[in-house]
Structure formats: C-alpha cells, structure tokens
C-alpha cells in the first residue's frame, strides 16, 4: 500500500515550478518523478517513460491544451487514457472549460499549494471518471455527477455519448 507505485511526469517550462511540483510529489511519497520543459518533450516522455499521471502546465512552449488534445486524440499517443492534471495560472471559466474540453482529468489553479495538489491527486486516483471516446470528445466524462433516476438525460448528445462510452 504505497503511492510509490505511481510514476508522474511534470511538464512546465518554468524550472522553479517544476522543482516545486516535483518536490511536493516526492515528499508525498509518489514514485519516480520525471520532468519535461515543453509540450513536445512531455509527449515524447509519455512514450518512453509511461507515467501513471501527467501534470501539465497550460502556458508553455507547445501549449499545454494542444499537448493535452494530442495525448488524448493522436493516433501516435502512447497512452490516451493517462490521468492528466492540468495546471493553470488563470482560473477564469473560459480557460477551465478549454482544459476540460481538451480532456483534462483535473485542473489545478496556481498558485500551487500542497493541499490543492493533494486534492487533485486524490481525485484522479480514488475517483476517476468514466472515459469517453467519441468523434467530438476524448477524455474523462465532463459531468462530475451521474444523472439521478428522476433527472433523466435529455440532450441529443447524451445518446451518442452513451453509445461511445469506453470505461477504463
């Protein structure tokens, strides 16, 4: 019973932020922590390191959101299902939606704190959402809660999503 079984890739162009996140992860007992300084490096590292969790900054060369979409959708992606925690210094709704629609498992806003990072780690490890693969979206289901019996799914897209649900 240990978080040491999980390896993490931290992708951020700012070396200090990479060090902060990596230190938090190591001190929290996670396994190997690798670092990448750009979206391209992160994609490459995903191929040969095969981390269990990727922590990806939105603002970096290669653009975090594009990298995230590439991880989820590219035929060359080595692990489209990998848990991705997206980091952003902007917590406005537009950017959060951008990351959610790109396929982020969780979003953590800067300034980073140990508590906020632990909360996102706990969410991806303990409460992963079903994985959706459809023509319009690939990533964890964007709804946080399943609809209850007395609140049926009514949108046209729901029927399509149900057809393409892939649980990982």
Partner 1 sequence: MNPTTNKLRSKVGASAGLLLDRQARAQAEASVQTLAPEAFVSCERRVQEICDVLEGLPDRALRDAFALAHEIRGVAGTFGWNALGEIADCLCLYLDDFPEGGRANVPLLQSLAGALKAALRSQGDADLVLALSAECRAMVRVIREREGRSPDLL
Contact footprint for partner 1 (CB under 8 A): 1-3, 5-6, 14, 16-17, 19-20, 23-24, 26-29, 52-53, 83, 89, 110-115, 118, 121-122, 124-126, 128-130, 146, 165, 167-168
CB of 108 to partner 1, least distance (A): 12
CB of 152 to partner 1, least distance (A): 13
CB of 57 to partner 1, least distance (A): 10
Q: Which is nearer to partner 1, 19 or 74 (CB)?
A: 19
What whole-number distance in Å separates Cα of residue 93 and Cα of residue 99? 10
Q: Which is nearer to partner 1, 26 or 136 (CB)?
A: 26
- Helix axis angle for 114-126 and 15-27, nearest 10°, is 60
Task: Compute CA 92 distance to the chain's CA centroid, rounded to the nearest angstrom.
Answer: 18
CB of 158 to partner 1, least distance (A): 11
Contacts of the segment 150-154: beta carbons below 8 A, 24+ positions apart? none
Establish how many alpha carbons lie within 13 A of residue 74's alpha carbon, considering only the half-sphere containing its beta carbon: 15
Q: Residues 6 or more apart from 80 whose CB is under 8 A from it?
A: 71, 72, 73, 74, 138
Q: Which is nearer to partner 1, 96 or 112 (CB)?
A: 112
CB of 91 to partner 1, least distance (A): 11
Q: Which is nearer to partner 1, 3 or 133 (CB)?
A: 3
**What letter would DSSP give residue 79?**
-
Q: Which is nearer to partner 1, 65 or 83 (CB)?
A: 83
What whole-number distance in Å separates Cα of residue 71 and Cα of residue 79? 7
């Amino acid at each position: 019973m240990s978080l040491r079984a999980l390896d993490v890739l931290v992708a951020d162009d700012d070396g200090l932020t990479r060090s902060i996140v990596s230190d938090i992860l190591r001190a929290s007992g996670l396994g190997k922590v690798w670092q990448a300084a750009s979206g391209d490096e992160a994609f490459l590292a995903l191929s040969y390191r095969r981390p269990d969790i990727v922590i990806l900054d939105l603002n970096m060369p290669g653009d975090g959101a594009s990298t995230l979409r590439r991880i989820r959708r590219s035929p060359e992606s080595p692990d489209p299902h990998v848990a991705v925690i997206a980091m952003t210094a902007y917590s406005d709704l537009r950017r959060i939606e951008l990351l959610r629609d790109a396929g982020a498992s969780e979003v953590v806003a800067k300034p980073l704190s140990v508590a906020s990072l632990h909360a996102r780690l706990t969410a991806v490890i303990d409460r992963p959402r079903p994985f959706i693969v459809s023509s319009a979206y690939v990533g964890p289901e964007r709804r946080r809660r399943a609809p209850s019996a007395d609140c049926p799914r009514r949108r046209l897209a729901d029927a399509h999503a149900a057809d393409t649900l892939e649980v990982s």
